[in-house]
């Protein structure tokens, strides 16, 4: 997994988003992570091999410069959530290791995975009471349940109209320019104890439990983090496979993959 670090208003680089290593030169993440109102793009670095950013004892992480930021051509900045997908082309080949490896892409359409268990991993904060923080130092993972795209759309529309999310947490209704593209999104319901995606998780991978492949990219949560009444939103990777293949092609160069050990098999 990749940790994206950049300068925001701070002098030093801080964690801003997560990402997935898809080949020896590219990181898959969310397009909104690259909004110029959010980060200073020329300060962006990708850290690989990290687990706990509060300690240097590990000594295994490596940072890479970014050669090119590739946003989906239909993505619009300023909070619009359709086409929220991007690739980062690194300036040099990744040195693969046991903790630095690629996550496979889907072979084809994944569907909305309704009713299935999905796993998200990231450095986002883990408790709403820590909402003043931008991230958590330790990489964490969480299992949730995916919901149908239609149910997701209906609940988000209700929430944006003030039905389920407190007034102070309402978001403008125009965040889905051109309408909610249900075939481009995945949705999952946070746990009732308030566990879900939060600040620092954007761009991180969503995996289908038991199937080692990145099926989603963390896009957005509505209201405060972890509200169980409103599904969380992910960009559906299988909807963008052709774009990913075209965008990762480098003329005259061949990229490589070195897939990580399947954690679901290892858990057995």
Where do the structural domains in the chain lie, given as residue ranges?
2-102+242-255, 117-238
Out of 23, 26, 84, 238, the active site residue is 84
Tokens, residue 210: 């038991």
| The CATH number fitting domain 117-238, selected from 2.40.128.50, 3.90.1150.10, 2.40.10.10, 3.40.50.720 | 2.40.10.10
The token duo for 185 is 């999104």
Measured CA to CA, the distance from residue 120 to residue 144 in angstroms comes to: 8
Cβ 11 vs Cβ 17: under 8 Å:
no
Helix, strand or coil, per DSSP, at residue 83:
coil
Strand partners, 233: 187, 220
Contact (CB, 8 A) for 122 and 200: yes
Which single residue is written with the structure tokens 């690629």? 102
Task: For the chain of 268 residues, list the mean pLDDT of each consecutive stretch of 10.
Answer: 83 85 98 82 89 62 93 77 93 93 94 93 68 63 90 80 49 54 88 75 92 93 72 94 97 95 65
Tell me what pLDDT residue 122 has: 84
* CATH 1.10.260.40 fits domain 2-102+242-255: no
Phi-psi region of 14 (alpha: psi -120 to 50; beta: other; left: phi over 0): beta
Query: Which residue in 20, 135, 202, 219 is the catalytic one?
Result: 202
Q: Which of 15, 20, 23, 32 is catalytic?
A: 32
- Cα 266 to its chain centre, rounded Å, is 23
CA 161 to chain centre: 26
Active site residue 84: yes
Look at residue 136 in the predicted model and tell me its pLDDT.
Answer: 64
Give the pLDDT of residue 223: 64
Predicted structure pTM score? 0.87
Copy the structure tokens of residue 177. 């320019």
253: burial class by Cβ within 10 Å (0-12, 13-18, 19+)?
Answer: exposed
The per-residue pLDDT for 80 is: 62
Catalytic status, residue 98: no
Q: What is the pLDDT of residue 220?
A: 85
In this structure, the dihedral spanned by the alpha carbons of residues 177, 179, 182 and 183, taken in order and rounded to 10 degrees, is -70
Domain 2-102+242-255 shares a fold with domain 117-238: yes
- Radius of gyration for the chain, computed over Cα atoms and rounded to the nearest angstrom: 17
220 catalytic residue (yes or no): no
What pLDDT score does 135 carry? Answer: 56
């Amino acid at each position: 997994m990749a940790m994206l670090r950049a300068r925001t208003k701070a002098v030093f680089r801080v964690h801003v988003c997560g990402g997935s290593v898809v080949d020896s030169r590219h990181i898959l993440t969310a397009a909104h992570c690259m909004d110029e109102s959010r980060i200073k793009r020329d300060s962006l670095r990708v850290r690989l091999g990290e687990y706990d950013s509060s300690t240097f004892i590990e000594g295994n992480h490596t940072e890479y410069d970014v050669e090119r930021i590739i946003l989906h051509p239909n993505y619009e900045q300023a909070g619009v959530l359709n086409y929220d997908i991007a690739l980062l082309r690194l300036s040099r080949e990744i040195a693969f290791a046991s903790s630095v490896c690629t996550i496979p892409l889907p072979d084809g359409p994944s569907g909305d995975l309704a009713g299935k268990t999905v796993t998200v991993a990231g450095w986002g904060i883990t408790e709403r009471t820590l909402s003043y923080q931008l991230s958590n130092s330790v990489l964490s993972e969480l299992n949730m349940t995916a919901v149908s795209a239609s149910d997701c759309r209906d609940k988000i529309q209700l929430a944006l109209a003030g039905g389920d999310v407190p007034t102070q947490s309402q978001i403008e209704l125009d965040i889905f320019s051109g309408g909610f593209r249900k075939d481009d999104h995945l949705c999952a319901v946070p746990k009732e104890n308030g566990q879900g995606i939060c600040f620092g998780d954007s761009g991180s991978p969503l995996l289908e439990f038991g199937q080692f492949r990145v099926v989603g990219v963390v896009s957005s949560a509505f209201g405060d983090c972890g509200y169980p009444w409103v599904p969380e939103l992910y960009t559906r990777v299988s909807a963008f496979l052709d774009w990913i293949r075209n965008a990762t092609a480098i003329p005259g160069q061949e990229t490589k993959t070195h897939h990580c050990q399947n954690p679901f098999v290892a858990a057995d």
